[in-house]
Amino acid sequence: MTNSNIADLQNMDLGKILVDEDLSKYTTYKVGGKAKVLVFPENKEKLLELLKYIKENNLKYFVMGNGSNLLISSKVFDGVVIKLNKLNNVQIYDNEVYVEAGYPLIKLCMLCADNNLGNLEFASGIPACVGGAICSNAGAYKMEMSDIVESVTVIDKNLNIVTLLKDDLKFTYRDSIFKEDKSYIIISAMLKLEYKDKSEILEIMESRKQRRLESQPLEYPSAGSVFRNPDAAPSGKLIEDAGLKGYTIGGAKVSEKHANFIINYNNATSEDIKKLIDFVRSKVKEKYNIELKSEQELINWEWFVVAKKKKRKKKIKVFRVFLVLVVITLLVLLVMFLGKVKVRGFYISGNTYYDDQKILNITGLDKYPSFLLTNSYTVNSKIKDEKLINNIKIKKTLDGKFKVIVTENKILFYDSNKNKSVITDGSLIDYYYEYSPVLVNEIGDKKIYKKFLKKFNSVDKDTLLNISEIKYEPNDIDKERFLLSMNDGNYVYVTMSKFSAINNYLEISKTLGEKNGILYLDYGNYFVPKE
């Protein structure tokens, strides 16, 4: 994909366009590499215009919804990623619902409940958009999308808008025609529901929510169930009986709460998760001769090939020996020269809280030391008492300068009761950062405070910058309840057991409409606008 392509797309008035965007912000695993271009088409007409350009210029692309069933590699995707959040219109005609592909499924469940429409209760805990749920025929509690879908409107490979009836969709267990034919792009669907009492619907949804909280690791990023259930036994039981609960590769772990969940518990990479999925599949195959089939869609993994080990050649050519000797000689001469050279300047990166001059002062680099003798070890020995700085790496450049790469300890919030900032390890420091949220009241219970620090430490940087105030606000039901004031004027209720859900706020906020209000993430997932 060329810079010219990117410029063309930016000038096409398609909707929001982001360049070199980190896709980990948009997946429930919280992993994934960058996309050259991420586009949020404003409507289906803009989507068609975008697809036409992609086809004419032979660009790579893929479509994503809520990112809840995707495993995107860490490699840069050299093409266009299309996110359908703006395709979110919904209309209710008696017991039939027209809904566009980008509408959140959980939000649709609440809307239908408000209109006394049932049979969608099974989906109240599925964090997908409508299009993604139809594609994978998502389901739970012995119901699935195929039970309620009447028709689906798509864009086909020839860029025609066509409507497929239910019989055309080839629904089977966690499968549909859309997995068979990737050229289809879902833009809307017609669902048929049944009239039910609202209180009955909400009661079912609440009971299932409690069941999920008790049985699923919702406090960690995941993509839900990893494997489809084979006929022999549930995948979770097979994995557990194989002794794989708690097994880790890198930062990825088989959940100890539910073995069919793989969680990102410690800054896992896409590769960690991919390797763990493959490992679990191989162990179950080895023990039970059952081939587990993943529900996760793999994106941008063509490059991921395990290289075969090559035998070393016994004979080394004379030319190679000569070349090595020449290189060694040049390196010796270079070292002798650099020992007398002073550093010429600095490239400083990674520092948020201290400016460049402050970094130079506390490290002693402002004295312009020897280019050869100064290294990461000598610099880090001078910053042992600096709580805000975790580590500094020094890299030397060919132009005689230092790359100073700073790793900071994150400031979580400013504690107004102690008039100090709280950093990653819970330490208090005499430093005020104007963009950090403020804890306005005291958390008296030490256990709750300690647990809060751990949870708040998992809030990603972008979300953290959108929180202005934190208030500890327990009630009779939950002693671990907090009220967050957001910079956009909204308020968010969140409890400790669901604290990780705040990392989805930026995505959720795009669906809330123009009015400010209160987002409840403590006992549900719904929004109440201010009057």
Rounded average pLDDT over 120-133: 92
> 146-180: buried (b, 16+ CB within 10 Å) or exposed (e) per residue?
bbbbebbbbbeeeeeeeebeeeebbbeebbbbbee
Q: What pLDDT is recorded for position 428?
A: 93
Dist. CA 265–CA 458, nearest whole Å: 10
Q: What pLDDT is recorded for position 31?
A: 96
pLDDT in tens, 202-221: 999 999 889 888 989 999 99
Q: What pLDDT is recorded for position 345?
A: 86
Q: In what order do the strands lie in the sheet with 185-192?
A: 90-93, 96-100, 185-192, 149-155, 161-165
Dist. CA 419–CA 371, nearest whole Å: 41
Residue 480: pLDDT over 60: yes
Q: Are 341 and 398 within 8 A, CB to CB?
A: no
**Comparing C-alpha atoms, which of 470, 496, 527, 464 is closest to residue 25?**
464
pLDDT category, 314, cuts 50, 70, 90? very low
Three-state DSSP class for 514?
Answer: coil
**Comparing C-alpha atoms, which of 16, 189, 9 is closest to residue 88?**
189
pLDDT in tens, 366-398: 887 777 778 888 888 888 888 899 999 999 888
Structure tokens at 372: 């050869």
The catalytic residue among 100, 121, 219, 295 is 295
Complete domains list, the chain, with CATH:
3-83 (3.30.43.10), 90-199 (3.30.465.10), 220-299 (3.90.78.10), 346-408 (3.10.20), 411-529 (3.40.50.10960)
Q: What pLDDT is recorded for position 343?
A: 81
Residue 339: pLDDT over 70: no
Residue 44: pLDDT over 90: yes
Rounded average pLDDT over 483-496: 92
Residue 94: pLDDT over 80: yes
With 0-12 / 13-18 / 19 or more C-beta atoms within 10 angstroms meaning exposed / middle / buried, residue 511 is: middle
pLDDT in tens, 138-195: 998 889 999 999 999 999 999 999 999 999 999 998 899 998 898 999 999 999 999 9
Q: Is 174 part of the annotated catalytic residue set?
A: yes
Q: Is 302 part of the annotated catalytic residue set?
A: no
Q: Are 191 and 149 within 8 A, CB to CB?
A: yes
With 0-12 / 13-18 / 19 or more C-beta atoms within 10 angstroms meaning exposed / middle / buried, residue 422 is: buried
Dist. CA 470–CA 439, nearest whole Å: 5
Q: What pLDDT is recorded for position 317?
A: 61
Helix (H) or strand (E) holding 177: helix 177-180
pLDDT category, 336, cuts 50, 70, 90? low
Q: What pLDDT is recorded for position 512?
A: 84
Q: What mean pLDDT is reported for the chain? A: 90
Q: Please name the residue that has the structure tokens 């400031």.
A: 411
Q: Are 31 and 273 within 8 A, CB to CB?
A: yes
- Rounded to 5°, the CA angle 33-498-435 comes to 65
What angle, rounded to 10 degrees, do the helices at 198-215 and 105-114 form? 150
pLDDT in tens, 385-440: 888 999 999 998 888 888 999 999 889 999 999 999 999 888 999 988 888 999 99
The catalytic residue among 225, 255, 270, 294 is 225
Rounded average pLDDT over 469-489: 92
Dist. CA 502–CA 509, nearest whole Å: 11
Q: Are β-strands 411-415 and 438-439 bridged in parallel, bridged antiparallel, or unpaired?
A: parallel
Residue 332: pLDDT over 60: yes
Q: In what order do the strands lie in the sheet with 526-529?
A: 428-429, 420-423, 411-415, 438-439, 467-472, 481-486, 491-495, 517-520, 526-529
DSSP 292: -
Residue 63: pLDDT over 50: yes
Q: Is 370 part of the annotated catalytic residue set?
A: no
Dist. CA 195–CA 179, nearest whole Å: 31
**Comparing C-alpha atoms, which of 108, 107, 87, 81 is closest to residue 97?**
108
Phi-psi region of 167 (alpha: psi -120 to 50; beta: other; left: phi over 0): alpha
The CB-based long-range contact list for 84-88 (8 Å cut-off, 24+ gap) reads 84/40, 84/41, 84/47, 84/129, 84/131, 84/187, 85/40, 85/129, 85/507, 85/510, 85/511, 86/15, 86/40, 86/41, 86/42, 86/43, 87/41, 87/43, 87/44, 87/47, 87/131, 87/187, 87/188, 88/511
